[in-house]
Structure 1
Amino acid sequence: MKSLFLSLLVSSSLFAADVASVAKQELPSLVALYQELHANPELSMHEVETAARIAKELREAGLEVSEKVGGHGIVGVLKNGDGPVILVRTDLDALPVKEQTGAPYASTKVAKDDLGREVNVMHACGHDIHMASFVGTARALVKLRDQWKGTVVMIGQPAEERVLGARLMLRAGLFSKFPKPDKAIALHCSSDMAHGKVGIVEGFALANVDTVEVVVKGVGGHGSMPHLSKDPIVLAAQIVLALQTIVSREVKPGDPAVVTVGSIHGGTKSNIISDEVRLQLTLRSYKTETRQHLIDSIKRIVKAQAESANMPADKMPEVIVSDDQVAALYNQPALCAEVRQHIGKTIGEDNVLTREPVMGAEDFAEYGLTKEKVPLCMFWLGTQPPEVVAEAKAKGTTLPSLHSPYFKPVPEPSIETGVKAMTSAVIGLMKQ
């Protein structure tokens, strides 16, 4: 028994050394790839050159690649005998943000969005780090194929920022035209965690997201004669305040939920009472029943406020719930425990942290919601200098967040850790 334990320990140490060695060898070219991607970002649904670049990298690594799967999605398949099928995902798209990091490879790109407006474009969510780590993982899996058996399906997903890409790839036959995964894993940059570290959340990790528009109607008129009008701005203000009671007074304490009015537009001039105000809301939750409660309560409150303002029946507000809702990401605890163990062997157990769930959104959740119910695990990847993280914590300040024009990962250690973590997770799951 003792000799078996020692044998396994030596084997584990050699495996970790092999993964680390490959990651180190590939790092210079991966950093160059990252800088190229960072300087040339593309908006959601427009990832033409980005998809082509990642497809080229996967082919050169030795994978069988299919392109234009669900728009600009790409699928790379690496078969290596009988064994599990593991899906690894990266996202491809960038955001309409004007970069202000001052990096020598900073984006200066300007593109037209879907409405024809010229916007600045930036990888402000770290998808370029994701892609570089993804390519590095593909190369490592090929070089270390003597250490695992099975099939890896590596997908480059478009339109994550618009939470459309996963759905589009699934509709295009991701699980029918390609090997069906037994498990799926992904990583995502963290803006407040030190590089060299990985964070894992078991259970709900990211939230349900619903977008709601409330059209508040009124009867317009002269600002000096409010008694002859029905003021939708006053009604809208009352609705905004009343909505805040949903989370504070209707949702069970400890059950996470958010109702945010992010946009309000109405009126054209100070002395004109308008006839319409539009509110745009984002709703966040984890549980399905909580999600529905938020929507039902908004409809009830909006109607009641309008009735209290004595709005005519033909002027009652409209509540429009978008069909493009995003499901909460549930990290399967058993899979997360396996991933934690495998990553810990390569980067050190002390560097694998337990993180709190957040109310952001990720359409990676979609891959676990099909009839196959594929177990998912998305882990966080640290990107910031440890001393900067420590200083911010000591002072109680915050670092530039994801989607900030100032978000600036440190490429070398972030990508190296990303490759080591993802490669060790995939191979570890294959060995089982």
Structure 2
Amino acid sequence: MRAALGLYLELHAHPELSGAETGTAERFAGHLEGDGATVTRGIGGHGVVGVLRNGPGPTLLVRAELDALPITERTGLAYASTVPGTMHACGHDLHLASAAGAFALLAAEPDTWNGTLLVVGQPAEETLEGADAMLADGLYERFGTPDTVLAQHTAPLPAGTLAHGRGPMMAASAALDVVIHGRGGHAGTPQLTVDPVVTAAATVMRLQTVVSRETAPSDQVVLTVGSLRAGSRGNVVPDEAELSITVRAATDQALERAVEAATRIVRAECAASGCPEDPDVTLVSRSPALLPDPAATAAVRAAHEREFGRHRVLDWPGSMATEDFPRFAVGGVRTAYWMVGTTSPRQWRAAHSAARPVPPNHSAEFAPDVRTALPAGIAAMATAVRQLFKETW
């Protein structure tokens, strides 16, 4: 536990963005090697794979993420980020420390399991690129196709609790980058221009109807225009406007319909404005809905209830957050996935008294209660791995 806590503090203070996780990968690899893993670096970017073989049996893969977010930390923690504009606001530091701590427990108790354990530090999860990159770099061909892939994720639930879902855990998602081509000119002669700012504004407003008028009320769909960039001065009509759009849905089918509708609206608004060129619509990333294997979920939940007590194992209602973990479920590979609570009683009371939510993931104030959440994360992962080695064997 002490080594895992030290790793967590190091990682939290020295976060690295997607695709630049050199120090994070090396710290994680060093801890795995120190506990007996054979480690390979540089898989699919900065990806790390630790291997521990313990006789005949199934192969299980534990995945944790390396990357942080471009957010300026406002937690006031003594071990807060030392990197300007970057912090571990999604709990990836806790995931890595929990995976390393669980590996240390399993390595020290080889009589409690049999088979091959792979521990993966995945790069670029926040950009939904890392899982595909590792698979394309031969993750399964080089290290063996696992029977089950396991992962856990922090959530603003009471620290020391876990939560399992009975359906989709996270949403399917797609990210679109759009460039609207106008005709720039002088603000005093707008009749000689095709203003892409006006077209972009109309597009943003019309995109809201994808959810309100083109999505069945029974479907869960969220569409967000997270960025709109255009021009540099008030007296110049620019040539272009850029939009960044994220679409999320509880099912892959609903996502496909929403993406098609969004693309149609972008093109139609540009046509209505008389834009001199069709817009550029680029699919930047896409990830399927996260639907863990029901049998693996049931087995892990039962093991967690025995380990933690049923009162500490909650139901997860699903979330419109997204991640690329489902990419590991190829060729019959099962997945198991659960949430780990991070909120201390003090944080819970403060939020309740102020009538505001607990600072969630991706908040500049996200601060897991590491004293409670990290031991729970370590025990949850080690317990799940032992159980699935038995189930699969």
Distance 2:211 2:302 in 1: 37
* TM-score, normalised by the number of residues in structure 1: 0.85
Tell me if structure 1 keeps the 8 A contact 2:5–2:97. Answer: yes
Task: State the AA in 1 paired with 2:372.
Answer: P
Match of 2:269 in 1: 305
* Structure 1 residue corresponding to 2:178, chosen from 214, 222, 228: 214
Match of 1:121 in 2: 86
SS in 1 for 2:53: strand
* Structure 2 residue corresponding to 1:65, chosen from 35, 39, 57: 39
Task: State the AA in 1 paired with 2:138.
Answer: G
Distance 1:63 1:273 in 2: 59
Distance 1:239 1:265 in 2: 13
Tell me if structure 2 keeps the 8 A contact 1:74–1:155. Answer: yes
Distance 1:165 1:306 in 2: 34
Q: Based on CA coordinates, which of the two structures has the bigger radius of gyration?
A: 1
Counterparts of 1:272-311 in structure 2, within 5 Å, are 272-309=236-273, 311=274
Task: State the AA in 1 paired with 2:15.
Answer: P
SS in 2 for 1:325: strand
- The superposition leaves residues 48-107 of structure 1 with CA deviations (integer Å, 9 ceiling, x where unpaired) of 222222222112212222222222211112222222211111111222222221111112
Distance 1:429 1:332 in 2: 12
Distance 1:332 1:396 in 2: 37
Deviation at residue 323 of structure 1 after TM alignment: 4.4
Distance 2:64 2:265 in 1: 41
Match of 1:74 in 2: 48
Match of 2:320 in 1: 359
Q: Structure 1: any 5+ residue segments left out of the alignment?
A: 1-26, 111-119
Counterparts of 1:9-408 in structure 2, within 5 Å, are 27-110=1-84, 120-190=85-155, 192-309=156-273, 311=274, 315-368=276-329, 370=330, 372-389=331-348, 392-393=351-352, 396-408=355-367
Distance 2:178 2:284 in 1: 15
Deviation at residue 390 of structure 1 after TM alignment: 5.2
Distance 2:272 2:23 in 1: 55
Distance 1:340 1:263 in 2: 39
SS in 2 for 1:224: coil
Tell me if structure 1 keeps the 8 A contact 2:162–2:314. Answer: yes
Task: State the AA in 2 paired with 1:205.
Answer: M
Deviation at residue 394 of structure 1 after TM alignment: 6.8
Tell me if structure 2 keeps the 8 A contact 1:285–1:291. Answer: yes
- The superposition leaves residues 404-430 of structure 1 with CA deviations (integer Å, 9 ceiling, x where unpaired) of 221111112111001111111110111
Task: State the AA in 1 paired with 2:59.
Answer: V
Change (3 A) 1:200 1:44: same
Task: State the AA in 2 paired with 1:66.
Answer: T
- The superposition leaves residues 376-410 of structure 1 with CA deviations (integer Å, 9 ceiling, x where unpaired) of 12211111113532553576411222122211111
Sequence identity of aligned pairs in percent? Answer: 39
* TM-score, normalised by the number of residues in structure 2: 0.93
Between the two proteins, the alignment pairs up a number of residues equal to 391
Task: State the AA in 1 paired with 2:300.
Answer: V
Change (3 A) 1:317 1:394: farther
